[in-house]
Amino acid sequence: MLATDDDLLRQAEEWRREGRGVALATVVETWGSAPRPVGSHLVIDAEGTFMGSVSGGCVEGAVVTEALDVIESGAPKLLEFGVADETAWQVGLSCGGRISVYVEKVT
């Protein structure tokens, strides 16, 4: 069972209270076949611990990696994954889907 938005926000708040850097990733747009709908979230701490889901396959690993940069720099990123990318099979979007994920630091 996936965590609810409330669970994710509570986890992000708890990590922040513990002094951890935290980022929130949100699916902001999908086209075609996409594993998770718009509004799906993933929270990530500075150690790479995460909760929630924005996709499947290797997309989440790539989002976690980018989130670590966002936590360090404070600058948000808009990430795009999909079939136009030669690595679509590797990131788990081999069924023709594309997704955009916005990653921002939680302050």
Q: pLDDT tens digits for the chain (107 residues)?
A: 467 888 999 999 999 999 999 999 999 999 877 788 999 999 999 999 999 999 877 788 999 999 999 999 999 999 998 765 455 555 555 566 789 999 999 99
7-38 burial, b if ≥16 CB within 10 A, otherwise e? ebeebbeebeeeebbbbbbbbbebeeebbbee
Question: Element (H or E) spanning 90, and its range?
Answer: helix 88-91
Model-level pTM? 0.86
pLDDT (0 to 100) of residue 94: 53
Domain ranges of the chain: 5-106
